[in-house]
Amino acid sequence: MGKSESKIIVVTSGKGGVGKTTTSAAVGAELANRGYKTVVVDFDIGLRNLDLIMGCERRVIFDFVNVIQNDANLSQALIKDKRVENLYVLPASQTRDKDALTKEGVERVLADLQKEFDFIVCDSPAGIEKGALMALYFADEAIVVSNPEISSVRDSDRIIGVLNSRSRRSEQGKEIKKHLLITRYAQARVNRGEMLSVEDVQEILAIPLLGIIPESPNVLNASNRGIPVTLDTPSDAKRAYQQAVARLLGEASSDDKSWISKIFAGIQLFNRSPV
């Protein structure tokens, strides 16, 4: 008997280094903060990093692949966060290769997680190979993370195509709900014409905007210390992630213009100092 509203959300991008793991940790922690029982699952087999960003690297004993191969059960592999009630991490294996993820295995583990959790956040590896395909295949919704930079936007377009054609929902003829999250945004550079604007990226990718995370030193500071941005001290990035989660939950105002302009107003303030 699963949780009736249990939702699988993949955080994906195609390109590496755009902020998938940072986003998975921040979104997962904020969902848990709001009382939803949440697990963040690392699909980057062989290159696990979610444990570091979530600050639980020294508590990893069993991992996702151990559970798939029945060497451990879920309760042994799940790491409970010490800061927030309701937040768990399922770490990736550091030693195996991505072929350890079988479709049947992933399906079984996700089905078991759905019995326990309100939200399952799947942190995808970069690329469009097996690990990334497994991370997105069973998803109900996708957060497409993109930097305002050409190679990132191009890869996001590719991954949107993959979501539309190679996810389970697409195979069932259903739509997979896609959200655009623009990260490392620098309004001052956009104003100077040096960076693609939110409107440019959104027009090109043509999926609804979930949020804009400003370029911020707080993000590196948080990952240095193993703290999800949304559990860290207040910052513009934290606030932007909180607003993105509110939108993900359908809580934000229906007037898109107003929330976008509010975010812009915030970014403008932070960028007032000379760069």
Partner 1 sequence: MSFLKFLGLSSHGKSARIARERLQIVLSHQRADGGDEDFLPKLRNELITVISKYVKIEAEQINVQLQRSGSYSVLELNIMLPTHAHDGEVIIAD
Which residues make up the interface to partner 1 (CB under 8 A)? 128, 149-150, 153-154, 157-158, 160-162, 164-166, 190, 192-197, 200, 204, 206, 208
Nearer CB in complex with partner 1: 41/162: 162
| Nearer Cβ to partner 1 (77/142) | 142
CA atoms within 13 A on the CB side of 23: 37
Rounded distance, CA 150 to CA 161, Å?
Answer: 17
Residue (of 258, 274, 275, 265) closest to 239 by Cα position: 265
Report the nearest approach of partner 1 to the CB of residue 53 (Å): 28
Classify residue 177 as exposed, middle or buried by CB count within 10 Å of its CB (0-12, 13-18, 19+).
middle
SS3 8: strand
Q: Give one word for 256, left, alpha or beta, with left for phi > 0 and alpha for psi -120 to 50.
A: alpha
Q: What six digits make up the tokens of 51?
A: 């444990």
CB of 148 to partner 1, least distance (A): 8
For residue 12 the two structure tokens come to 């994906």
Tell me the C-alpha distance between 95 and 19, whole Å: 23
User: Nearer to partner 1 by C-beta: 71 or 194?
Assistant: 194
Q: Closest CB to partner 1 among 86 and 147?
A: 147
Q: Compute the least distance from the CB of residue 141 to partner 1, in Å.
A: 16
Placement of tokens 């550079």 in the chain:
189
User: Cβ closer to partner 1: 57 or 149?
Assistant: 149
Shortest Å distance, C-beta 150 to partner 1: 5
Query: Closest CB to partner 1 among 170 and 221?
Result: 170
35 token code pair:
């009382």
CA 113/CA 39 separation, integer angstroms: 8
Find out whether 146 and 201 touch, Cβ atoms under 8 Å. yes
The least CB distance from residue 260 to partner 1, in Å, is: 16
Q: At its nearest, how many Å lie between partner 1 and the CB of residue 2?
A: 30
